[in-house]
């Protein structure tokens, strides 16, 4: 009875955390209700459905129009990744439209050849904003991170097709992507695609333009020099491309003075004052959209360019509080998953899943057992890191059309491989050692009855559905979700469930196998306290990916470029959430296993959550 009350107490705490998260995040997102937020969907001239958030400050009207800014996330993200900019811009009086680019979030997917068309939806949002009677049509800016910046460049090219007096975009801030330096290609080029022999030009005309070029950007801000040498991104400000940009498209061979970072340069173009500026923060590509420094640059830029209706110092920022409350909700979400599972185990339907006695760690490994225990952990960790790197090119080149999300397929294939590897190691360990050492597969939960299995699956579905119910409540009533940086649990459109079903078998194979390994085979005494074993399992779950990240970025900071140059730099960035998600699996499944002696329940629950989380936060491409 005491344990029932304890589970109920934690369930109530988790619900309180989620509620506090919703209210707190909403309060800061709306600047204390001074900004109205609307979740919009509309059919664009491109013929696709586009999703966006509209931030409209109080007091803005047809009689008192305000400048408007369209913001965009990068590839494999959603509109919420621009929260920090949306909050700070709207509280300074700008009308903000934050888009889900086509194929992301709740916007329709398009074919790759359609991505440049109308800026992957950004220019559709610009035209929509220009129709708002409360927006000053002479002051519309665009900004985006990474491929959101590329969408801004594409939008400029679309805008350039109009007569000069009908163009809508007056200001552009590119975050974590190159500017357009030449007009030879008709579209922005990655640095590795530029030959260096095109004629430099000012594609942006009289528009104001700024660039945020991080000194440790994994993708951009390099240039190929004579002899094939590549300049590291931290030297970008000294390159011909940066200097041409700051000199409004002048040929570098005709430039006599070197211009510098963080200084605004002005020139009259077509009878209009135009500005150029480059910001060089000392950070990596994904940190740009989680940085007070970059937000300060963005606010200063747009204030200088089109003027902030409300004068607030750029260093005065509140978005971090929304991050804090979003994090509370994320903690509450996972606390709810564990506590709600335990409470459901006390119902008549599922009480048979509850163990008669809580699971306890087995005896400390000794003798040959130590070799099997530590050897299994080390071998699995090594294979985990190696296979992640080895599978990238194959998965990118051989993804069937049935799977419309490339990163989820790649991570899924890797997960499935590691699931098979884990099961193989457990099988060998059992046959050669564990069986003789007294491991009972029934008592440890590896073998279940059919009745127990179907109840396990049913309870898993109930728990996950209930947990995501909290997410949809947050979205519907408060337009918020649960997240921290690149880890996000958000509401989603129904089509994402069908996509998730395609990938779920990959993740079930891994997380169920991992739960069996962590709980049925490796739940033993390590040290004097029980939590040490849980921490050890969490560490070895994530140590392979962690080592890759450490190698990649230590080399980057010392040498000026990433270590794994033969693979896309995205492999390191995709690991940022993974090095949290996989270790957390050991903790969540262990808490559920202790009260059930059933490794499948926690494994299935966690696999479904991870699959849905990945599917709803990336690019869908048919």
8 Å CB contact between 599 and 456 = no
The pLDDT assigned to 196 comes to 60
CB-based contacts of 550-555 (< 8 A; 24+ apart in sequence)? 553/216, 553/284
Whether the Cβ atoms of residue 545 and residue 579 lie closer than 8 Å to each other: yes
Tens digits of residue pLDDT in 437-448: 899 999 999 999
Extract the tokens encoding 564.
């794994």
**What does the DSSP assignment read for 282-320?**
SSBGGGGGG-HHHHHHHHHHHHHHT--SS---TT---HH
Percent of the chain with pLDDT over 90: 89
* Token reading at 8: 């109920």
For tokens 């030449």, the residue is: 182
pLDDT at 403 over 70: yes
* Radius of gyration, alpha carbons of the chain: 26
Question: Per-residue pLDDT averaged across 583-609, rounded?
Answer: 98
Closest by Cα among 173, 123, 141 to 67: 141
Does residue 304 come out as left (phi exceeding 0), alpha (psi in the -120 to 50 range) or beta? alpha
Average pLDDT over residues 443-462: 96
Residue 187: band (very low, low, confident or very high) from pLDDT cuts 50, 70, 90: low
DSSP 80: G
Confidence of residue 199 (pLDDT cuts 50, 70, 90): confident
Higher pLDDT: 568 or 1? It is 568
The 10s digit of each residue's pLDDT in 378-396 is 999 999 999 999 999 999 9
Mean pLDDT of the chain: 95
Residue-wise pLDDT tens digits, 324-378: 999 999 999 999 999 999 999 999 999 999 999 999 999 989 999 899 999 999 9
Give me 572's structure tokens.
């390191």
pLDDT at residue 119 is higher than 80: yes
What is the spatial distance between Cα 173 and Cα 149, in angstroms, rounded to a whole number?
A: 8
Two structure tokens written together for 102: 């086509």
Q: What's the token pair of residue 49?
A: 């459905």
Residues present in the chain in total: 622
Spatial separation of the C-alpha atoms in residues 467 and 4, rounded to whole Å? 20
Residue 35 and residue 30: Cα distance in Å, rounded? 5
Task: For residue 191, name the pLDDT band (cuts at 50, 70, 90).
Answer: confident
Q: What does the alpha-carbon distance between residue 526 and residue 516 come to, in Å, rounded to a whole number?
A: 18
The per-residue pLDDT for 563 is 94
pLDDT at 177 over 80: yes
* pLDDT on residue 197: 64
pLDDT the model gives residue 3:
63
Q: What local confidence, expressed as pLDDT, does residue 195 receive?
A: 64
Q: Mind listing the pLDDT tens digit for each residue in 155-167?
A: 999 999 999 999 9
The two beta strands, 272-279 and 265-269, are antiparallel
Q: At what angle do helices 531-559 and 575-596 cross, to 10 degrees?
A: 180
Please report which confidence band the pLDDT of residue 2 belongs to, taking 50, 70 and 90 as the band edges.
low
Q: Residue 381: which of 572, 544, 583, 546 has the closest Cα?
A: 544
Q: Are 351 and 477 in contact (CB under 8 A)?
A: no
CB count in 10 Å sphere of residue 185: 11
Of 483, 479, 143, 499, which Cα lies nearest the Cα of 288? 143
Q: Among 519, 505, 499, which Cα is nearest to 590's? A: 519
pLDDT score of 184: 59
Q: What are phi and psi of 186, to 5 degrees?
A: 80, 0
In the chain, pLDDT over 70 holds for what percent of residues? 97
The whole-number average pLDDT for the span 467-489 is 97
522 vs 511: CA distance, rounded Å: 15
pLDDT (average), residues 502-508: 98
Q: What is the rounded average pLDDT of the residues 258-284?
A: 97
Q: Where are the domains of the chain?
A: 32-317, 322-615
CATH architecture of 32-317: 3-Layer(aba) Sandwich (3.40)
Report the alpha-carbon distance of residue 278 to residue 212 in Å, rounded: 6
- What's the CA gap between 137 and 603, in Å, rounded? 53
**Segment 6-29, tens digit of pLDDT:** 889 999 999 999 999 999 999 999
- Give the CA distances from residue 30 to residues 22, 36, 182, 502, 515, in Å, rounded to whole numbers and listed in that order: 12, 6, 41, 37, 41
How many Å separate Cα 473 from the centre of its chain? 22
Quickly count: other Cβ atoms within 10 Å of residue 447's Cβ: 11
**Does residue 551 surpass a pLDDT of 80?**
yes
Residue 46 confidence (pLDDT): 83
- Residue 119: DSSP 8-state: G
CA atoms within 13 A of residue 29's CA, in its CB half-sphere: 28
| Helix-strand-coil split of the chain, %, nearest 5 | 55, 15, 35
Residue 185, pLDDT above cutoff 60: no
CA atoms within 13 A on the CB side of 4: 7
Give the integer Cα–Cα distance in Å for 66 and 316. 21
Neighbours of 267 (CB within 10 A): 14
**Tokens 């909050």 map to which residue?**
87
Degrees to nearest 5, angle at CA 54 with 167 and 187: 40
Q: What are phi and psi of 277, to 5 degrees?
A: -155, 145
Q: Are 88 and 319 in contact (CB under 8 A)?
A: yes
How many whole angstroms separate alpha carbon 40 and alpha carbon 53? Answer: 6
User: CA distances (Å), 479 to each of 30, 96, 228, 326, 473, in order?
Assistant: 10, 15, 49, 12, 9
8 Å CB contact between 545 and 257: no
pLDDT of residue 622: 83
Average pLDDT for 268-293: 96
Structure confidence at residue 1 (pLDDT)? 54
Q: Where are the beta strands (DSSP E) in 123-271?
A: 135-145, 171-175, 208-212, 265-269
């Amino acid at each position: 009875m005491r344990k029932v009350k304890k589970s109920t107490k934690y369930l109530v705490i988790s619900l309180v955390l989620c509620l506090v998260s919703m209210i707190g995040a909403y309060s800061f997102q709306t600047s204390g209700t001074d900004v109205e937020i609307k979740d919009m969907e509309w059919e664009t001239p491109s013929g696709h459905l586009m999703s966006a958030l509209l931030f409209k400050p109080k007091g803005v009207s047809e009689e008192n129009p305000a400048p408007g800014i369209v913001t965009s996330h990068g590839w494999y993200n959603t509109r919420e990744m621009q929260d920090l900019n949306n909050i700070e811009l709207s509280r300074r009086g700008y009308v903000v439209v934050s888009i889900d680019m086509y194929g992301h979030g709740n916007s329709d997917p398009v074919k790759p050849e359609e991505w440049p068309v109308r800026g992957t939806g950004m220019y559709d949002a610009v035209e929509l904003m220009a129709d708002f009677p409360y927006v000053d049509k002479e002051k519309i800016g665009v900004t985006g991170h990474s491929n959101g910046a590329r969408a801004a460049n594409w939008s400029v090219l679309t805008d350039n097709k109009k007569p000069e007096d009908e163009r809508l975009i007056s200001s552009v801030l590119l975050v974590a992507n190159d500017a357009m330096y030449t007009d030879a290609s008709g579209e922005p080029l990655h640095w590795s695609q530029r030959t260096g022999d095109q004629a430099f030009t000012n594609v942006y005309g009289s528009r104001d333009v700024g660039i945020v070029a991080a000194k440790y950007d994994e993708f951009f801000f390099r240039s190929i020099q004579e002899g094939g040498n590549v300049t590291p991104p931290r030297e970008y400000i000294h390159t011909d491309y940066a200097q041409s940009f700051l000199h409004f498209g002048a040929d570098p061979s005709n430039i006599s003075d070197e211009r510098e970072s963080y200084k605004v340069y002005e020139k009259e173009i077509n009878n209009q004052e135009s500005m150029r500026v480059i910001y060089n923060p000392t950070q990596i590509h994904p940190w740009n959209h989680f940085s007070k420094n970059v937000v300060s640059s963005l606010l200063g830029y747009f204030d200088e360019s089109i003027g902030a209706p409300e004068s607030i110092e750029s260093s005065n920022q509140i978005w971090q509080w929304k991050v804090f409350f979003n994090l509370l909700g994320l903690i509450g979400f996972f606390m709810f998953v564990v506590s709600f599972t335990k409470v459901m185990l006390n119902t008549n339907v599922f009480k048979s899943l509850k163990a008669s006695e809580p699971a306890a760690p087995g005896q400390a490994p000794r003798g040959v057992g130590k070799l099997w225990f530590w050897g299994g952990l080390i071998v699995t960790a090594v294979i985990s890191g190696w296979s992640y790197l080895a599978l990238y090119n194959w998965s990118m080149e051989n993804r069937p059309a049935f799977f419309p999300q490339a990163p989820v397929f790649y991570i899924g294939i890797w997960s499935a491989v590691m699931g098979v590897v884990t099961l193989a190691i457990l099988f060998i360990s059992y046959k050669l050692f564990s069986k003789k050492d007294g491991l009972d597969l029934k008592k440890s939960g590896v073998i279940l009855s059919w009745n127990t299995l179907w109840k396990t699956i049913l309870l898993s579905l109930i728990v996950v559905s209930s947990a995501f119910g909290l997410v949809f409540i947050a979205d519907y009533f408060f337009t918020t979700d649960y997240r921290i940086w690149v880890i996000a649990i958000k509401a989603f459109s129904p089509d994402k469930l069908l996509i998730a079903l395609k990938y779920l078998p990959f993740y079930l194979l891994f997380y169920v196998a991992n739960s069996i390994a962590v709980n049925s085979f490796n739940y033993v005494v390590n040290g004097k306290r029980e939590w040490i074993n849980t921490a050890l399992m969490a560490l070895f779950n994530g140590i392979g990916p962690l080592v890759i990240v450490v190698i990649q970025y230590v080399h980057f900071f010392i040498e000026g470029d990433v270590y794994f140059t033969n693979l896309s730099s995205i492999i390191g960035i995709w690991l940022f959430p993974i090095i949290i998600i996989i270790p957390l699996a050991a903790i969540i499944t262990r808490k559920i296993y202790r009260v059930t002696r059933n490794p499948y329940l926690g494994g299935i629950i966690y696999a479904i959550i991870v699959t849905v989380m990945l599917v709803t936060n990336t690019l869908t491409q048919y």
